[in-house]
Structure 1
Amino acid sequence: MILKTVDDTREFGARLAAVLRAGDLLVLSGPLGAGKTALAQGIGRGLRVRGDVTSPTFVIARVHRPDLAAGGTVPMVHVDAYRLGNVTDPRAQVDDLDLDASVEDSVTLVEWGEGMVEQLADAYLEVRIDRRDDDARVVELIGHAGDWPTRITALPEATATHP
């Protein structure tokens, strides 16, 4: 899928939120500036969580509670594992975050988590984002186990174009 603007990336995140539920793990990958945080912002909007969704680079993880008044029902845990890649044992660092305690009850998004967090859930969605020279984002969704193929197919209609 091709998303032409950052706003399109956020809109796609909001549409993706429609098929997400508590217990879901999403591993967001892509280079710096690809749009991982913009996607997380859209997912947060779609899940109707409270507060602004910003990059958790320096705090590593943020929990966004559902805005019950707006119809939110599930918390979103947003993790940025970028700095964990520079440690000797990043998996141990992930374990220290105690994310598995919240994975079952939340939608958990992990930026830069490939190779470190997949063991947190039996099934997960890998979201690969790449930015082209024209600033458009190319997004690929890869379901690993579970019912992800069915759920990906059930995504609400896209406004973005397909290659």
Structure 2
Amino acid sequence: MEAPAAPHNPADRTAMEITVNSPEKMGELGRRLAKLLRAGDLVMFTGELGAGKTTLARGLGAGLGVRGAVTSPTFVIARVHPSLGDGPPLVHVDAYRLGGGLDEMEDLDLDVSLPESVIVVEWGEGKVEELTDDRLEVVIHRAVGDTTDEVRHVTVTGLGERWAAVDLSVLAA
């Protein structure tokens, strides 16, 4: 049994907050995010049902140039989208129906896929953090009092050495 990962030093964090006003803008954010990603990256999406996690993943898939429509993998748990070019494949996981931690997700072989893929896990909080100390956490909140139900506040936090020197401000473009 492995020892739990040490808590992250606040100095090993970098964060960016972005306001997104429409599903189209959420997709654009995903395309910008894709430009920062490379094989070996783990990205966790957190947000309530309908917050825009899959819309963000769809934009990310478009930005990575992967094959296949990026849709919610809720019933199949995970989908692999191969690259149409020379980039990494996208492994898109929906852990909503999985109650346990990494042990329950072992059958997905994410640890095997991680070095050559970009892995995006919706609902991954408390389930996949042990895969790597270097990860990107994306939290999506609906704006309180928004009458159109379109405005989202997105916080992107890079954890670990991989993200220490990455300029997340390009996401706000």
Q: Sort the TM-score into its range (normalised by shorter chain).
A: 0.7 to 0.9
- Scaled by the length of structure 2, the TM-score of the pair is 0.83
Partner of residue 161, structure 1: none
Stretches of 4+ moved more than 6 A in 1? Answer: none
1:33-112 superposed matches below 5 A:
33-68=50-85, 72-85=86-99, 89-112=100-123
CA distance in 2, matches of 1:156, 1:4: 14
- Contact between 1:47 and 1:66, CA under 8 Å: does it hold in 2? yes
Aligned pairs (5 A) from 1:129-140: 129-132=140-143, 133=146, 134=148, 135-140=150-155
CA RMSD of aligned residues (A): 1.4
Tell me whether 1:145 sits opposite 2:173 in the alignment: no
- Matched to 1:14, the amino acid is R
Q: Give the 3-state SS of the residue equivalent to 2:98 in structure 1.
A: helix
Aligned residues: 152
The one-letter amino acid of 1:125's match is L
Q: Is the 8 A contact 1:18 1:156 kept in 2?
A: no
* Structure-2 change in CA distance of 1:15 and 1:77 (3 Å): same
The letter for the 2-side match of 1:139 is V
Query: Unaligned stretches of 5+ in structure 2?
Result: 1-17
Q: Note the residue ranges of structure 1 that are not aligned, 5 or more in a row.
A: 159-163
Moved more, 41-50 or 132-141: 132-141
Counterpart secondary structure, 1:40: helix
Deviation by residue 1:42-73 (Cα, 9 ceiling, x = unmatched): 000000001110000000000000012xxx51
Matched residues in 2 for 1:156 and 1:116: separation? 26
| TM-score normalised per structure 1 | 0.88
The residue identity in structure 2 corresponding to 1:82 is Y
Larger mean Cα displacement after TM superposition, 57-66 or 114-123? 114-123
Partner of 2:19: 2
2:50 counterpart SS class? coil
| DSSP-derived class of the 2:91 partner | strand
Aligned mate of 1:125, from 136, 146, 160: 136
In the alignment, the residues of structure 1 paired with residue 49 and residue 168 of structure 2 have an alpha-carbon distance, to the nearest angstrom, of: 28
Name the % identity.
Answer: 51
